[in-house]
């Protein structure tokens, strides 16, 4: 039984109560970013429904191409290998015309400048430039194909080899049973792993592309909790199934997941300002408001689920101080769920397509969003206020 599904009536009941409270508060004190906005709320609820449907659809879509399991797994690996080889060759051909690296745009179609203004164009140089331009177009397509096919091969392989049942069959500790102590161990273990997965989702761009959905709202209320990712299958996570190796039953791991997610629901509110002494141990609405802030001091802070202790222990804790500005450092200005779910993936692949080296292609995928925006500015020959704001924040939630 999925506790998060069972709790759906509670979600709507508590959102209704919060809506009435915030409406009355707005009448007395004026509007705030915590207030419900119809289009924003509909988007959040739509994303919530999508997050429930995705686990039902994804196995049917990705199962056939999973290496070592699906009938098309070898074809996926061959596609990735072929794309990498073609892209590498295209990069080499593009370098035949070194002058083509000049120019601020550095796009595959950019026309290269001449080496020297007074040197006449020769047929040989013209041919090299035509070959280089064609090669850059090929590399743009091949680079994206390499990242998509290679990434899918990695993520599907990891997921198929780290299922809870598979880990349970290989457990290294005896069965802890199903009592309260075992459930407590499952909840604590899930909470610890969640901290690291949540932190990684802010520090690697391909993971941020999945998680950015949850941070895309400029409002903060209980409906925001339901704005969940739909593309988890495209990420690589520390597997919660590791708990099964330690003797925790898969059924308890599933219960721990539900308990953790239910806890995270109620902290998405501005109606509760402080929990007093509990603020020192638990993740609270105040701590989680910080996590959703786009203020510089709040970026990539407070990643915990139930306990805030992990953030205190590993140096990512920040107390709520200045008023929180919700959303992204550059908001996407749309309520379209498809755009909300895909915009960072699209931007990331666009950067890969414009890259001319494997170092840049890989960095645009695995390094932090902050690095990506600084690199964009360097490549384009301009430093934007957005890039300046993120200097020194390689893992910044952009």
pLDDT in tens, 178-202: 999 999 999 999 999 999 999 999 9
Whether residue 224 has pLDDT greater than 50: yes
Whether residue 78 has pLDDT greater than 60: yes
Pick the more confident residue, 378 or 37: 37
Q: What is the pLDDT of residue 373?
A: 86
Residue pLDDT, tens place only, 236-295: 999 999 999 999 999 999 999 999 999 999 999 999 999 999 999 999 999 999 999 999
Q: What is the pLDDT of residue 109?
A: 46
Residue pLDDT, tens place only, 93-131: 998 876 544 333 344 444 444 444 555 678 888 888 899
Q: What is the pLDDT of residue 391?
A: 42
Distance CA 269, CA 121 (A): 66
pLDDT band at 296 (very low <50, low <70, confident <90, very high): very high
Q: What is the pLDDT of residue 101?
A: 42
| Lowest model confidence (mean pLDDT) among 32-41, 232-241, 282-291, 373-382 | 373-382
Q: What is the pLDDT of residue 119?
A: 57
Averaged pLDDT score across all residues of the chain: 91
Contact yes or no for 222/292 (Cβ under 8 A): no
Q: Where are the domains of the chain?
A: 3-65+162-331
């Amino acid at each position: 039984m999925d506790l998060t599904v069972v709790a759906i009536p509670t979600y709507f009941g508590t959102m209704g109560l919060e809506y009435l409270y915030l409406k009355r508060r707005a009448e007395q004190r004026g509007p705030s970013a915590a207030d419900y906005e119809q289009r924003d709320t509909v988007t959040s609820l739509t994303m919530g429904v999508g997050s429930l449907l995705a686990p039902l659809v994804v196995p049917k879509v990705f199962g056939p191409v999973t290496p070592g399991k699906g009938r098309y797994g070898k074809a996926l690996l061959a596609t990735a290998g072929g794309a990498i080889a073609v892209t590498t060759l295209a990069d080499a051909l593009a370098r035949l015309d070194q002058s083509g690296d000049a120019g601020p745009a550095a796009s595959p179609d950019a026309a290269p400048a001449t080496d020297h203004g007074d040197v006449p164009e020769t047929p040989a140089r013209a041919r090299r430039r035509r070959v280089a331009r064609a090669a850059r177009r090929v590399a743009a397509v091949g680079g994206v194909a390499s990242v998509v096919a290679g990434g899918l091969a990695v993520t599907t392989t990891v997921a198929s080899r780290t299922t809870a049942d598979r880990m349970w069959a290989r457990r290294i500790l005896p069965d802890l049973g199903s009592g309260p102590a075992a459930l407590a161990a499952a909840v604590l273990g899930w909470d610890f792993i969640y901290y690291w997965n949540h932190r990684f989702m802010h520090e690697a761009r391909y993971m941020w592309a999945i998680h950015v959905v949850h941070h895309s709202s400029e409002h903060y209320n209980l409906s925001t909790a339901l704005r969940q990712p739909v593309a988890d299958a495209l990420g690589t996570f520390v597997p919660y199934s590791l708990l099964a190796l330690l003797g925790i039953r898969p059924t308890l791991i599933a219960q721990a997941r539900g308990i953790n997610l239910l806890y995270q629901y109620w902290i998405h509110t501005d109606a509760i300002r402080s929990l007093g002494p509990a603020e020192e141990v638990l993740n609270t609405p105040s701590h989680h408001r910080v996590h959703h802030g786009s203020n510089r001091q709040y970026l990539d802070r407070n990643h915990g689920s139930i306990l805030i202790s992990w953030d205190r222990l590993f140096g990512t804790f920040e107390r709520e101080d200045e008023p929180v500005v919700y959303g992204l450092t550059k908001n996407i200005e749309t309520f379209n769920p498809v755009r909300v779910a895909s915009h960072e993936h699209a931007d990331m692949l666009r950067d890969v397509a414009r890259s001319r080296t494997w170092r840049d292609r890989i960095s645009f995928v695995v390094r932090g969003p902050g690095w990506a925006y600084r690199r964009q500015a360097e490549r384009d020959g301009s430093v934007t206020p957005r890039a300046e704001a993120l200097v020194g924040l390689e893992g910044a939630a952009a």
